[in-house]
Structure 1
Amino acid sequence: MKLVSWNVNGLRACVRKGFIDYFHEVNADIFCVQETKLQEGQIELDLQGYYQYWNYAERKGYSGTAVFTKNKPLSIRYGLGDEETQAEGRIITLEYEDFFLINVYTPNSQRDLARLPIRLEWEDALFNHILNHDKVKPVILCGDLNVAHQEIDIRNYKTNYGNSGFTEEERGKMSRLLNAGFIDTLRYFYPEKDDIYTWWSYMKTVRERNIGWRIDYFIVSERMKDKLIDSDAHTSVLGSDHCPIILDIDI
């Protein structure tokens, strides 16, 4: 089974930049997107052979997630039951026979860390959500988690200590999740590869020089380890300030 996750930073704009061509080329069994930035009725995607599930933010042109899947899930849940995060359309949980898929767009703490308290509350709620589902069957978590976990995951780590996405608090929440019985799949295959990033600033030549951050992840329950085939980032795919990430798994 092939899964793809991509923060498209505005799906309508990404469609104009080649999203559909990539979608058909990659031929994923499950394709997750974050930051759709639209409301119901603002886009119509002809994705034959795929079921479509959308979680729209109440605020126009903001946040939002979606999942396109060849296999119809047993159940779908939107949100975490928390009014603030539910209103922002940040999470979709799909149940399949052998696993749960959780597609997430984690809140950004903002440049001045004004939203860090909300972010940390979200992290705790998400952690509990993941653990509760993992008690039932294995979990595949994917999406833009808005944190570079280790120094290896950010090009200029020394100058970014304490900045949004690289605070001790945010990185600690990621460590807590991994220590609770979960695997960062890309690091499972490439533990020391230091040039794999998934987000780059739009500033001139930043992406060309690969001055990036790895903030998009596929994380799975540890008991799925033997089913993992590969995990990678399609860094050459444009259309957003993020690139798609891929998980191949034997399910």
Structure 2
Amino acid sequence: MKLISWNVNGLRACVNKGFNDYFKESNADLFCVQETKLQEGQITMEIGEEYEQYWNCAVKKGYSGTAVFSKIKPLSVRYGIEENHEEEGRIITLEFENFYLVNVYTPNAKRDLSRLPYRLEWEDRFRAYLVELDAHKPVIACGDLNVAHQEIDIKNAKSNVGNSGFTAEERAKMTELQAAGFLDSFRHLYPDREGAYSWWSYMPKIRERNVGWRIDYFLVSVKLKSAIVDAQIDAHVMGSDHCPVVLEIGLDEK
């Protein structure tokens, strides 16, 4: 089974920059997107009839939002964490026979860290939610988690210490999440690979020089560890300030 996650930073703009070509070429069983930045009905996706579409749009226009395109019909779909709705459209959970898929766009702490307290509270709720799901069946959680976990996951670690996405608090929450039973699939397979990033600033020459951060993940329940086949970062794919990340896993839901 092939899964892809991509923060598209505005789906309508990304569609105009080659999204559909990549989508068709990748032929994923499950394709998750974050930061769609649109409301229901604002776009018609030409992705083929074999895909079911699930959308969680933010109440605020042009902000946040997630979507999942699935070849496999889920047993159930849930929007949000505690309730079946949350105003920023950050989470979609699809339940399948053998696992849960959670597509998430984690809140940014903001440059001035004004949203860090909310971010940390979110992290605790999110971790508890995944643990709750994992008690019933294994979980695959993917998306823009807005944190570079270790120094190897960011180009200029020392100069970014304390910045949004690389604070001690945010990194500690990722450590807690992994300790709760969820593997970083990429680092599980490639613990020492340097220069592997999924986000780059739009500043001139930054992406060209690969001055990036790895903040997009596939986290997998430890109980699925032996099923992980590969995890990749499609850094060559343009269209957003993020690139797609890919998980191949030995699960048969067809």
Partner residue, 1:128: 128
Take 1:44 and 1:93, find their aligned partners in 2: how far apart are those partners? 22
Partner residue, 2:157: 157
Partner residue, 1:25: 25
Take 1:240 and 1:190, find their aligned partners in 2: how far apart are those partners? 24
Take 1:82 and 1:54, find their aligned partners in 2: how far apart are those partners? 16
Take 1:64 and 1:95, find their aligned partners in 2: how far apart are those partners? 19
Structure 2 counterpart of 1:76, which letter? V
SS of the aligned residue for 2:109 comes to coil
Structure 1 counterpart of 2:108, which letter? N
Structure 2 counterpart of 1:172, which letter? A
Q: 1:161 to 1:82 in 2, by over 3 A?
A: farther
Structure 1 counterpart of 2:63, which letter? Y
Structure 2 counterpart of 1:195, which letter? G
Deviation at 1:82, TM superposition (A): 6.5
Partner residue, 1:249: 249
Take 1:63 and 1:43, find their aligned partners in 2: how far apart are those partners? 15
Partner residue, 2:47: 47
Take 2:147 and 2:83, find their aligned partners in 1: how far apart are those partners? 21
Structure 2 counterpart of 1:45, which letter? M
Take 2:45 and 2:134, find their aligned partners in 1: how far apart are those partners? 32
CA RMSD of aligned residues (A): 1.0
Partner residue, 1:60: 61
Listed one character per residue, the Cα deviations across residues 65-104 of structure 1 (whole Å, up to 9, x for unaligned) are 0000000000000011369x81000000000000000000
Deviation at 1:27, TM superposition (A): 0.2
Partner residue, 1:145: 145
> 1:92-107 maps to which residues of 2 (within 5 A)?
92-107=92-107
Structure 2 counterpart of 1:242, which letter? H
Could you tell me which runs of 5 or more consecutive residues in structure 2 were left unpaired when the two chains were aligned.
none
SS of the aligned residue for 1:87 comes to coil
Listed one character per residue, the Cα deviations across residues 95-150 of structure 1 (whole Å, up to 9, x for unaligned) are 00000000000000000000001101110110111000000000000000000000
Structure 2 counterpart of 1:88, which letter? E
Structure 2 counterpart of 1:189, which letter? L
> 1:207-218 maps to which residues of 2 (within 5 A)?
207-218=207-218
TM-score when normalising by structure 1? 0.98
SS of the aligned residue for 1:231 comes to strand
Take 2:72 and 2:83, find their aligned partners in 1: how far apart are those partners? 28
Take 2:33 and 2:41, find their aligned partners in 1: how far apart are those partners? 17
Deviation at 1:47, TM superposition (A): 1.9
What is the identity percentage for the equivalent residue pairs of Structure 1 and Structure 2? 64
Partner residue, 2:200: 200
Take 2:70 and 2:93, find their aligned partners in 1: how far apart are those partners? 12
TM-score when normalising by structure 2? 0.97
Listed one character per residue, the Cα deviations across residues 163-207 of structure 1 (whole Å, up to 9, x for unaligned) are 000011100010001111111000011100111000000000000
Could you tell me which runs of 5 or more consecutive residues in structure 1 were left unpaired when the two chains were aligned.
none
Take 2:112 and 2:82, find their aligned partners in 1: how far apart are those partners? 27
Take 2:247 and 2:180, find their aligned partners in 1: how far apart are those partners? 21
Structure 2 counterpart of 1:144, which letter? D
Partner residue, 2:6: 6
Contact kept in structure 1, 2:20 and 2:46, CA below 8 Å: no
After superposing on structure 2, the runs of 4+ consecutive aligned residues of structure 1 that deviate more than 2 Å are none
Take 2:46 and 2:67, find their aligned partners in 1: how far apart are those partners? 14
Residues paired across the two proteins, number: 250
Take 1:174 and 1:122, find their aligned partners in 2: how far apart are those partners? 12
SS of the aligned residue for 2:125 comes to helix
